[in-house]
Structure 1
Amino acid sequence: MSTVLRTAVETLRDRAPRAKPQVAVVLGSGWGGLAAHVEDALHVPYTELDGFPHAGVAGHAGEVLLGRIGTREVAVLCGRKHAYEDGDVKAMKVPLLALRELGCKALVLTNAAGSLDARMAPGSLMALSDHINLPQRSPLVGESGPDRFVDMVDAYDRGLRETALAVAHRQGIELHQGVYLWCLGPQFETVAEIRMFKQFGADAVGMSTVPETILARRAGMKVLAISLMTNMAAGMSEENLSHAHTLEQAGRVTATASRLLADIIKEIAP
């Protein structure tokens, strides 16, 4: 364990000595409403934790919440650092490994994405069944040891996804399944790129999640990821794409999405 990681873990344990989180959560754009579902929450700003990023994107709070959702102890990362901010695909390594050291065996990732499927209008939700790493960049470059050769088949755990689908079905919420394509960003995609991505088999496109999934799989964590569709991808509507537009669209459904996510977490078996 690196000195930076050890210090971050020790700080979290000092702040919450009785915390034994089982599920880690990363909140992307539009998912901040989940924080209201965390009971007895202890707030630890990223600025107090070595190796944690300074959230540089609007809509990302930049703090860890340690508490409960139902009977499930959770550690919630309110905000992430994206590779497009400075090119660092390892930016979330220390936060994720710190939560793994605290005891988290499952990781729930959330994001805002653009839909490539006409059946998934803005406001729709999609559980990731697989992903496409378009930039072919990895947070494991420079690592050593045989465990860096991570098997990415079933990177998104079938059992966790089935739980999510069952909860959504009971609540009458349509939770799609599909393939998420990661673009480095921060620019949005061109119309020609979107046509190409459809040919690749992508159902949604976004600028996060994939590096975190790779890190989590190497750490032995099960992964569930859910995308909130905030827009149709370039060329599929008359919308003018921007980050402000993303946040505006996400704000319209954040309460419903966050409530569903909380109920899913209550039933996750790490």
Structure 2
Amino acid sequence: MTVTVGGLTYLEQIREAVSYIQSRLGGSSPKLGLILGSGLGDLAERVADPVTIPYSEVPHFPVSTVEGHAGQFVAGTLEGKSVIVMQGRFHYYEGYAMRKVVFPVYVLKELGVECLVITNAAGGMNRVFQAGDLMLIADHINMTGDNPLIGPNHSELGVRFPDMSEAYSKLYRELAHRLAGELEAGDGRKLQEGVYCGISGPAYMTPSELTMLARLGGDAVGMSTVGEVIAARHCGLSVLGISCITDMAVGEELEPLTHEQVVAVANRTKPKFIELVKAFVREVEVS
């Protein structure tokens, strides 16, 4: 069974998007890809010799509709390495099918990306955390009720049953911890590590729901990332995941929250986030 949209298969749509982006990159082949979450898009402004490609110009791309997501690729060099940055992402709660949400991940893979840095804004459920912390994602719990691999599998993209025993690279996490220790940036707080719970959204969770997730082993909760990481591992990309803890989501102590508050805290955390990612890009080994 082959699913077609507008007469094209999913794989054909990916290849058309890749072809267009390649035509704009002038022959460069980025090995590092970055997906920047809410309030964290300013890192793209550090890219040298940038080529900016709005998502609206790329064939078959959805449109990013959320505040804090610029909705464009920025390609160029960062810390001396060829990179392509997604300044904004797509979310399941925007009404897109999960396969559409992760479409850019496969495009990045076909462009030549080997290492993918995925970032997000998240609520902290671990009582040790504080708003403004950065958390390396060690693992995730998929609470979205969906999976981007449901449906026909294109063997050209990946195997039918991909392994998820190390969804987030242990080697990358070790490198990030070492670099964070050397930087001692911002307020000097320790780089956290934990389990990310991905939910569908768009409503924030109730106190009882947050208490349940914490008891299941979750340390942070957000509305993105999980589908992208499943797709990344499906097509063989290695992943570093970083959450910016923008608020404390402890069920028994929950306070009202707005998206504007989330973006505001992400903005304050940007300096240490940018320095950590820049250091990682500088040190990580790619072919």
1:130 — aligned with what? 139
Structure 1 residue 118 and structure 2 residue 122: aligned?
A: no
Contact in 2 for aligned 1:53/1:80 (Cα 8 Å): no
Match of 1:165 among 158, 161, 177: 177
Contact residue 27 and residue 110 of structure 1 kept, 8 A: yes
The counterpart of 1:59, out of the listed 61, 68, 82, is 68
What corresponds to 1:103 in structure 2? 112
Q: Is the 8 A contact 2:124 2:220 kept in 1?
A: yes
Q: Give the structure 2 partner of residue 210 of structure 1.
A: 226
SS at match of 1:9: helix
Q: Distance in 2 between matches of 1:214 and 1:268?
A: 22
Matching of residues 172-211 of structure 1 within 5 Å: 172-173=184-185, 174-211=190-227
- Aligned pairs (5 A) from 1:183-262: 183-235=199-251, 237=253, 239-262=255-278
Of 213-222 and 89-98, deviating more is: 89-98
> Take 1:199 and 1:133, find their aligned partners in 2: how far apart are those partners?
15
Question: Does the aligned pair in 2 maintain the 1:189–1:234 contact within 8 Å?
Answer: no
Q: 1:13 aligns with which of 22, 25, 29?
A: 22
* Distance across 1 between alignment mates of 2:195 and 2:161: 22
CA distance in 1, matches of 2:163, 2:82: 28
Deviation string 1:92-151 (CA, Å, 9 cap, x unpaired) is: 333111111111011110000000112210000000000000134100011225812111
By how many angstroms is 1:234 displaced? 4.9
Amino acid aligned to 1:116: M
Q: Deviations over 1:195-221 (max 9, x none)?
A: 111110100000000000000001100
Deviation at 1:165, TM superposition (A): 1.0
TM-score, normalising length from structure 2?
Answer: 0.90
Residue among 164, 169, 182 paired with 1:152: 164
- Match for residue 149 of structure 2? 140
> In the alignment, residue 264 of structure 1 is paired with which amino acid?
F
* 3-state SS of 1:254 partner: helix
CA contact (8 A) 2:211 2:250 kept: no
User: In structure 2, the residue corresponding to 1:2 is in which secondary structure?
Assistant: helix
Question: 1:147 aligns to what SS in structure 2?
Answer: coil
1:41-60 alignment runs, 5 A limit: 41-60=50-69
Runs of 4+ in 1 over 4 A off after TM superposition: none
- Provide the residue aligned with 2:6 in structure 1: none
For residues 215 and 164 of structure 2, what CA distance do their matches in structure 1 show?
21
Structure 2: gaps spanning 5 or more residues: 1-9
- Runs of 5+ in structure 1 lacking a partner? none
The partner residue of 2:279 within 263, 266, 269 is 263
Greater displacement, 257-266 / 103-112: 257-266
Partner SS for 1:108: strand
1:32 shift after superposition: 1.1
Q: Which moved more, 1:40-49 or 1:230-239?
A: 230-239
The count of residues paired between Structure 1 and Structure 2 equals: 270
* 115-124 or 94-103, larger mean C-alpha shift: 94-103
Q: 1:245 to 1:232 in 2, by over 3 A?
A: same
Q: TM-score, normalised by structure 1?
A: 0.95
Q: For residues 214 and 176 of structure 1, what CA distance do their matches in structure 2 show? A: 22
1:151-182 CA-partner distances (Å, limit 9, x unpaired): 11010011111111111110115211100001
Instruction: Say which SS state the counterpart of residue 137 (structure 1) adopts.
Output: coil
